[in-house]
Structure 1
Amino acid sequence: MASRRGFLAGLIAAGVFPAPTWADAGAPKYISAARTADGAYVLVGVSMEGTETFRLPLPGRGHAATAHPRLPHAVAFARRPGRFAVVLDCRDGTTLATLDSPVGLHFYGHGTYDASGGLLFTTENDFENGQGRIGVWDVTKGYKRIGEFSSQGIGPHDIRLMPDDTLVIANGGIDTHPETGRQKLNLATMQPNLSYVTQNGELLDQIMPSQHHASIRHLSVHSDGTVAVGMQWQGDTSRAPALIGLHKRGREMALLGAGDVLDGYVGSIAFSNDGTQVAATSPRSGQMQIFSTRDRTLIQTLTQPDICGAAPFTAGFIATTGQGQILSSGKGTRELNTFDLAWDNHLVPL
């Protein structure tokens, strides 16, 4: 099979066959991990109308996924402290590669391609040394690991590609170890940060939240270089500060909203297509809050139990819940569809 794939890849590169696109996988607009009613784990493609375009099995619980910029390939990452990531051909479910984190490291559930789709970057934990790492994988060589570099912090969770082809990393600041599961080992001394690095790992800029218990977890990037930041409070949630941030390199972070209203937890964050709005979800409080990025005021609140996945929609946002619903914002809340699935944390736009 590997030689056949290599032969076909060579024909595609030579222009004998056209390269497959996302249209060949049913033209999904989003992908998300989910759990089925019988407890199996899957990766699902979702259309703009909220219908299913494909459903592929996963070896365990997925957290987030990242999609190739051109080819119908998706990488599904294990939930922390998982050690697997699976590259799937979303046309037929073929496993193109299985990524195993090196000894002493585990994945943190997120990754991103570069603009060409030739490199994949993954967030990882060097758990013996309590340091964050970014793994680098060569897509053109069958997702071969070719290097790694420091995430410039502890507990790197999300990572995104910036418009100038640099990377931005959400270092949550929380030290964990597989032997203690998801236990947080350094809450008294944790130091989260938002780090901007080159694709070689050179630090370009770094900013820390004013309160060190605000763990930076999730990111969204707009085309003008603004980064939306979703944080999770590691203290008394009734006293949680604002946990939604907007940042541009060289500036201070602007904070929006009130963290206690979100029960101290932002599960996902997304810009609208035009960048004039930002949405943050909290499955713990059952809310999606939508803010204006111009004056930072709250525009709309969607209330739905276990709402978490969020992504831009035609007008406003689309969201998923752990109860199987797909919702859209706009003029009120509209239910697009309900599946016999428990959607996981993230809805990834293509």
Structure 2
Amino acid sequence: MPMATESLHRPALHRRQALALLAGTAGLGACIWLPAEAATARARIASARLAAAWEVQGRYFIGLLSAATPTARPALKVHAALEVPSRAHSVCPLADGSVVAVARRPGDWLVRWHPAQATPQWHWQTTDHRYPDRTFNGHVLSGLAGTDGEYLYTTETDVETGASVVGVRHARSLEKLAEWPTHGIDAHELIWDLHSPGGPTLLVANGGVPTAPETGRSKRDLHRMDSSLVRLDATTGRLMGQWRLQDPRLSLRHLAWGPDGKTLGIALQAEHDAPAERRAAPVHARFDGQTLYASAAQPAAETRAAPPLQGYGGSIVTAPEGWAVSCTRAGCVAWFNLQGQLTTRMALSEVCALANAPPDAQSHTTLWAAGQSHSLRQNGEPLTEPPLRVAHEGKLQAARVDNHWVWAQGFE
């Protein structure tokens, strides 16, 4: 149910208030420093900004986190924050400096907020009278700049039928203008494909996990799972292709283009009944435009230093050699190359949110990873040896970044 009118117009927290409320959030920003880090990278950390969602003491926020002036122990601070009624899942910075966030599934709210303005713009599913009984599935995508940037695209579920749709919304009013079927259930992340013959298309990951409307996120009848990747015409929503993995118990969740710009990386979440099968399942898949491949599972001979990835990929971003996948249950970030081979990993307890900063003058990308009690930053070339972790100072006061965050340099 919608919250009271006063709650719908809850003002953004001023920077001083936000910092006071989230005292201890600096612990989220303890970072990795590599020995060969360049001065340009140090300059970038001073102005780094990430759009994020987080929770502290049972309250939920979206906002911008900014990096402190470079020191031996750099930390993230709250630049601006907005309290939201429930857990957010993804955040999407827009070209005008505003941020759009959506509730995690099954969600009922969408908000557009400019940190420089006091009043956020809320939209509740109950107000979509032409499209009743829908819930948000946690992800929103902005329209392409210079073409249809006035639109937003949200993944949603029809509560009555269980079928998923892409909601096409006006970016300013948040009103739904149309919806397109995703030809599956449990639709999750969606991404633009700019290399499609004939023009851009939308790729959507149908997670395929059946749930009951009355129980929200509770899974049921997993033997009926039907996860798929679909391609939709960006103008009409027409189905242009659908692909499935051989293993029906692998749920396709999150999407990121590889460094070649043509191979799509997909973070997987295993739903096998047997715990051993689930632990050993792959967390990564690739799509080359024609075929969907599950990357190899972990090596059979696991060691204490390299435990199984637990069949759970929380998020995925582009990396210089391929992709980085956050393996939340295994407590590490895993790197995969363009051939789908696991190349290295980095420990971080309950890591989920990942973000990439644009390349610096040396073409180095910076990976930001948020974990349970602190975050890591990795600069430069792919890791060749375990880096030295810098522990956070002070007590972390129950603040933690949620599933996703996004690089938002230049946002005020």
When structure 1 is superposed on structure 2, of 87-96 and 229-238 the one drifting more is 87-96
TM-score by length of 2: 0.71
Q: 1:254: Cα distance to partner?
A: 5.0
* Residue 317 of structure 1 pairs with residue 367 of structure 2: yes
> In the alignment, is residue 197 of structure 1 matched against residue 232 of structure 2?
yes
2:333 to 256, 263, 288: 288
Residue 252 of structure 1 and its aligned partner are, at CA, apart by: 3.8
Distance apart, 1:123 and its partner CA = 0.4
Aligned-residue offset at 1:44: 2.7
Residues 171 and 77 of structure 1, relative CA distance in 2, 3 Å threshold: same
C-alpha RMSD of matched pairs (Å): 2.5
Quote the offset at 1:105 in angstroms: 1.0
Unaligned runs of 5+ in 2: 1-45, 69-74, 300-306, 358-363
One-letter amino acid of the structure 2 residue matched with residue 30 of structure 1: L
* Pairing 1:239–2:277 present: yes
Letter in 1 for 2:312: Y
Greater C-alpha Rg: 2
Q: Offset at 1:300?
A: 2.2
Counterpart of 1:55 in structure 2: which amino acid? A
1:274-285 equivalent positions in 2, closer than 5 A: 274=320, 276-285=321-330
What displacement does 1:61 show? 1.2
Aligned identity (percent) is 25
Alpha carbons of 1:73 and 1:257: their partners in 2 closer, same or farther (altered >3 Å)? farther
Find the aligned partners of 1:319 and 1:188 in 2 and give their Cα distance: 34
**Structure 1 residues 302 and 144: CA distance shift in structure 2, 3 A:** same
Query: 2:308 aligns to what SS in structure 1?
Result: helix
The Cα shift of 1:245 comes to: 0.9
- Provide closer, same or farther for how the CA distance between residues 96 and 190 of structure 1 changes in structure 2, counting only shifts above 3 A: same
Where does 1:245-260 land on structure 2 (aligned, <5 Å)? 245-258=285-298
Q: Tell which deviates more after alignment, 151-160 or 88-97.
A: 88-97
Q: Which ranges of structure 1 fall in alignment gaps of 5 or more residues?
A: 1-25
In structure 2, the residue matched to 1:35 is 55
Relative to its length, the structure with more strand (as a share) is 1
8 Å CA contact 1:267, 1:281 repeated in 2? yes
- Give the superposition deviation at 1:333: 5.5
Alignment of 1:107-256 (within 5 A): 107-116=136-145, 117-140=149-172, 142-164=173-195, 165-199=200-234, 200-222=236-258, 224-235=261-272, 236-240=274-278, 241-256=281-296
SS where residue 129 of structure 1 aligns?
Answer: coil
- Which residue of the partner structure matches residue 43 of structure 2? none
SS at match of 1:239: helix
Q: Residues 92, 258 of structure 1: CA spacing in aligned structure 2 closer, same or farther, 3 A cutoff? A: farther
Aligned length: 318
In the alignment, the residues of structure 1 paired with residue 390 and residue 65 of structure 2 have an alpha-carbon distance, to the nearest angstrom, of: 14
What amino acid does structure 2 have at the position aligned with 1:282? C
Q: Does 1:67 align with 2:93?
A: yes
Residue in 1 that maps onto 2:401: 343
Question: Residue deviations 1:210-251, cap 9 Å, x none?
Answer: 100001111112472321101111112421332201212113
Residue of structure 1 equivalent to 2:64: 45
What's the CA shift string for 1:56-109, capped at 9, x where partnerless?
A: 2112111111221x1111111111112111111122353134242642110010
TM-score, with length taken from structure 1: 0.83
Aligned pair partner of 2:352 in 308, 327, 341: 308
Alpha-carbon shift at residue 256 of structure 1 (Å): 4.2
